[in-house]
């Protein structure tokens, strides 16, 4: 219960934590997970929602990077994509990309004054790509 009180966990993540602590209690762990899911104390949907929210606000991750991280946390791809569409819409992605691009441009211009506009644009493109934004989104952001 302490683990769930601190933050949301995916079912996979919760199972892994339990198995590390009690490797010989596989059946009991599955029963506990089943009960927690039935009581809605453990939910992949709720975990995904909280995780996406944190990644967007705190890490400024793009949709592709968030999707990868959700997969690593054991969230099924279909659920991860649904939650991503629901909680990080295309317009939000464009806005987040625009804000990150403006900050990066200011940073680049402050540090390297001799770069051409094309070089700055390439650096911003690369930065947003590394953050997990898709090429189509990045192109739209850069064309604004």
Q: Domain with 135 in it: what CATH number?
A: 1.10.10
**Are 97 and 77 in a shared domain?**
no
Buried b / exposed e along 21-33 (16+ C-beta atoms within 10 A): eeeeeeeebeebb
Give the number of domains in the chain.
2
Residue that finishes a domain, picked among 62, 87, 112? 87
pLDDT digits over 52-78, tens only? 999 999 999 999 999 999 999 999 999
pTM of the model: 0.86
What is the reported pLDDT for 2?
74
One domain, residues 11 and 26:
yes
**59: domain range?**
2-87
Residues 83 and 53 in one domain: yes
* pLDDT of res. 3: 75
- Indicate the average pLDDT of the chain: 93
Whether 4 shows a pLDDT value over 80: the answer reads: no
């Amino acid at each position: 219960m302490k683990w769930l009180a601190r933050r949301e966990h995916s079912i996979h993540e919760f199972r892994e934590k339990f198995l590390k602590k009690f490797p010989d209690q596989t059946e009991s762990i599955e029963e506990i997970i089943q009960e927690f899911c039935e009581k809605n104390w453990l939910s992949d949907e709720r975990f995904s929602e909280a995780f996406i929210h944190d990644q967007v606000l705190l890490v400024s991750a793009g949709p592709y990077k968030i999707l990868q991280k959700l997969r690593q946390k054991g969230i099924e791809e279909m659920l991860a994509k649904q939650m991503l569409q629901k909680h990080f819409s295309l317009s939000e992605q464009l806005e987040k990309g625009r804000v990150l691009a403006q900050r990066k441009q200011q940073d680049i211009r402050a540090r390297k004054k001799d770069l051409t506009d094309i070089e700055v644009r390439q650096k911003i493109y690369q930065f947003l790509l590394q953050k997990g934004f898709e090429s189509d989104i990045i192109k739209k952001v850069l064309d604004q």
